[in-house]
Structure 1
């Protein structure tokens, strides 16, 4: 554990660095805006932009962005102008990882919002313990009666609950502990077969009760969510539940490795009936290549990860400049890059993102470039986690 004085000094230095980074970005933007009308920021100096205190400043930038999109109810908005539980969970995981009392409180408020709106009774597709998307109509949050998926929403909700528990905050832990029955219901979605759940006979999960495809990205998140849920139940003293989720996580991992890895192509399939076509658009085939890594199905030394990353970056050599032919930056790819030892590439991508979006981090539209449409709390959450991973590689070890 770091000494208190070191932690205080680091936070003070981060605040100073944050102000300096904002000033640099604002000056650059004002100069560019005068001639182009667009918000543009020149790349930050490599000599000053990646010190531990500068990384902390970048983290604070993203924390502020997420908090600016949190409603009084606790809901976190997304680029659509509505509320999406999956993307809000990504933002909350970044806040919990950052760890300040303000971030933790915001993440807890978000999680409370999600749990208070849980569909405990059967939803429109007949499943229980699901979460709907919400639209903002006349200032009110209105359930759309639908969702993009069941498995990813449920899995990431368990991951947020586990992250809040790991924070160690007594108030937060009491809040989480009071919801154990709901977590059991959410987990049941991921371990039970249709129609009460989304588990397939293959061991994969399908996206919804009615949509039978098992996606690589979703299933990687499910593996992590089940593993996180098992750890949470252990912390709550519910070892029978924990053992059930550990077994389910193991089954998910086995199914992912046995069904979704394509040994001939040396890439991850997009889903259980389709090989990846990296020659097409970046999403979903490209993104699927690093989800098993960032969600813990395999580690950075696994030859499958190394091979699929090589194919991915050969197809998209401009990835460090966010040139991925999609509507928003792929910040989880930067996280994967750091995990794989390609920190320089990750830093280059994050510098490019700053150049595109800072200082306003506009929402929902961010810049004129065709590859850059909006910056979202979900992207900010992944950026925080990536920056924390980078910081751990640079900050001194404190005895």
Structure 2
């Protein structure tokens, strides 16, 4: 489980490896830790989540509120020897972190932490999700100057962005910071509208992977896998398109639940199957992931474990974490 990947010593203690002896990828760690928040006791939240949140904030660039991944060339036993690696997005890292921070503070009631860190959290939201918003409502994947080489608005990133903005706005609203809550809620609404207008193709009944593509792709990644992201991240404005995305996935890449299309499990697909009441498909994927876990642990990464836990929670009658 994700807790087993926790780094216990060195300058990145409190962080999490992507997989055993893998890098610290903050985006995947965020996704892996999110479903843990409602499952942990108050004491465990302070042990497994709070140090990670503080480490993330301490590791961001103070001028841009962006963050670099960390490679451990000799494994986690040598965390004093590290190499920083450019993140492959600014928007998705920021939004998934905002979701994690928002859910932690709501679950723990640690409002003194919130008050001490909210300025940094607001900078993350503003610099990575507000300043990068395009006229279409979609968020560009990178801040300047990296946006000069890639300013695309990706479906996956923008679904995660929507969720981060909604979660962050909910905490702001609970603290009576209404003007800022309204601002970030508006950005989320604009994101959903941008996806509906620019990324959903009615003629194909499918989503585009990004605003840089003209037609939906039938390739597994990102073409069919991206189709479930609006439902996975709860874009309520797009509920009428959820079934179209789901059908496109299953028509063009049947058998995804057995892992036939990619060595990585793509547990998010089983999670959406569970949300849709497709219990047989979801359980089949869980069995396949268990087999993958036993055969090659490095393929079941922390983000995959996060969605694995979400799937099990939904199948067991719980709410979507």
Q: TM-score, normalised by structure 2?
A: 0.88
Residue matched to 1:16: none
Query: Could you say what secondary structure the match of 1:67 adopts?
Result: helix
Is 1:78 the equivalent of 2:18?
yes
Query: Alignment partner of 1:71: what SS?
Result: coil
Corresponding residue to 2:168 among 226, 229, 242:
229
Query: 2:43, 2:300 → 1: CA distance?
Result: 22
Q: Is 1:384 the counterpart of 2:309 in the alignment?
A: yes
* Cα separation, 1, equivalents of 2:44 and 2:211: 38
The reply to whether residue 177 of structure 1 matches residue 115 of structure 2 is: yes
By how many angstroms is 1:141 displaced? 6.2
Partner SS state of residue 34, structure 2: helix
Q: Which residue of 2 aligns with 1:42?
A: none
Deviation at 1:100, TM superposition (A): 3.1
Q: How much does 1:176 deviate?
A: 2.8
User: Residue 204 of structure 2 aligns to a residue in which SS?
Assistant: coil
**Residue pair 2:209, 2:216 contacting (<8 A) in 1 also:** yes
What pairs up with 1:336-375 in 2 under 5 angstroms?
Answer: 336-358=272-294, 365-366=296-297, 374-375=299-300
Q: Matched residue of 1:214: which SS?
A: coil
Alignment of 1:55-74 (within 5 A): 65-72=1-8, 73-74=13-14
Query: Which residue of structure 1 lines up, in the alignment, with residue 247 of structure 2?
Result: 310
Question: Quick check: 2:192–2:237 contact (8 Å CA) kept in 1?
Answer: no
2:23–2:72 Cα contact (<8 Å) kept: yes
Task: Identify the match of residue 267 of structure 1 among 206, 211, 227.
Answer: 206
- SS of match in other structure, 2:99: helix
Give the unaligned 5+ runs of structure 1.
Answer: 1-64, 122-127, 367-372, 395-399
Q: Report the aligned-residue RMSD.
A: 2.0
Residues 157-181 of structure 1 deviation map (CA, whole Å, 9 limit, x = unaligned): 11001110221x24x3432332110
Q: Whose RCO is larger (CA < 8 A, sep 6+)?
A: 1
- 1:309/1:299 CA distance change after superposition, 3 Å: farther
**Count of residues in Structure 1 that have an aligned counterpart in Structure 2:** 303
Post-superposition Cα deviations, 1:135-175, rounded to whole Å, max 9, x if no partner, equal 114422635251110000010111001110221x24x3432
The answer on whether the counterparts of 2:224 and 2:248 sit within 8 Å (CA) in structure 1 is no
Three-state SS of the structure 2 residue aligned to 1:140 is coil
Q: CA deviation at 1:119?
A: 1.1
**For 1:113 and 1:141, how far apart are their aligned partners in 2?**
17
Name the CA shift for 1:191/1:348 in 2 (closer, same or farther; >3 Å).
closer
For residues 300 and 99 of structure 2, what CA distance do their matches in structure 1 show? Answer: 23
Matched, 1:208 2:121: no
Q: What's the counterpart of residue 99 of structure 1? A: 40
Larger radius of gyration: 1
Residue 393 of structure 1 and its aligned partner are, at CA, apart by 5.9
Residue in 1 that maps onto 2:92: 152
Residue of structure 1 in register with 2:269 after alignment: 333
Deviation at 1:286, TM superposition (A): 1.4
